A and B are shown apart, each in its own frame.
Chain A
Amino acid sequence: QQQVKQSPQSLIVQKGGISIINCAYENTAFDYFPWYQQFPGKGPALLIAIRPDVSEKKEGRFTISFNKSAKQFSLHIMDSQPGDSATYFCAASINTGTASKLTFGTGTRLQVTL
Chain B
Amino acid sequence: KAGVTQTPRYLIKTRGQQVTLSCSPISGHRSVSWYQQTPGQGLQFLFEYFSETQRNKGNFPGRFSGRQFSNSRSEMNVSTLELGDSALYLCASSTSGRSYNEQFFGPGTRLTVL
Task: Spell out A's residues near B (CB within 8 Å).
Answer: 31-32, 34, 36, 41-46, 49, 51, 89, 91, 93-107
* Contact status A31-B107, CB under 8 Å: no
* Contact status B99-A31, CB under 8 Å: yes
B42 to chain A, nearest CB (A): 5
Residues of B within 8 A of A43 (CB): 4, 90, 92, 105-108
Number of interface residues of B (CB under 8 A): 26
> Dominant SS at the A interface?
loop
Residues of A within 8 A of B50 (CB): 98-99
Whether B1 is near chain A, meaning CB under 8 Å from some CB there, is: no
* Contact status B106-A101, CB under 8 Å: no
Whether B112 is near chain A, meaning CB under 8 Å from some CB there, is: no
Given A99-B50, A99-B56, A101-B48, the answer on whether A44 and B100 have CB atoms closer than 8 Å is no
Residues of B within 8 A of A98 (CB): 50, 55, 97-98
Q: Give the residues from 14 to 65 in chain B that come closer than 8 angstroms, CB to CB, to chain A.
A: 33, 35, 42-45, 48, 50, 55-56, 58
* Contact status B48-A42, CB under 8 Å: no
A103 to chain B, nearest CB (A): 7
Residues of B within 8 A of A105 (CB): 42
Complex Cα–Cα for A31 and B100 (A): 9
* Contact status B42-A107, CB under 8 Å: yes
Complex Cα–Cα for A50 and B97 (A): 17
Complex Cα–Cα for A97 and B43 (A): 23
* Contact status A95-B98, CB under 8 Å: yes
What are 14 A-B residue pairs whose CB atoms fall within 8 Å in the complex? A31-B99, A32-B99, A36-B105, A43-B4, A45-B105, A51-B100, A95-B100, A99-B48, A99-B56, A100-B99, A102-B35, A102-B45, A103-B45, A107-B42
* Contact status A104-B43, CB under 8 Å: yes
* Contact status A101-B107, CB under 8 Å: no
Whether B7 is near chain A, meaning CB under 8 Å from some CB there, is: no
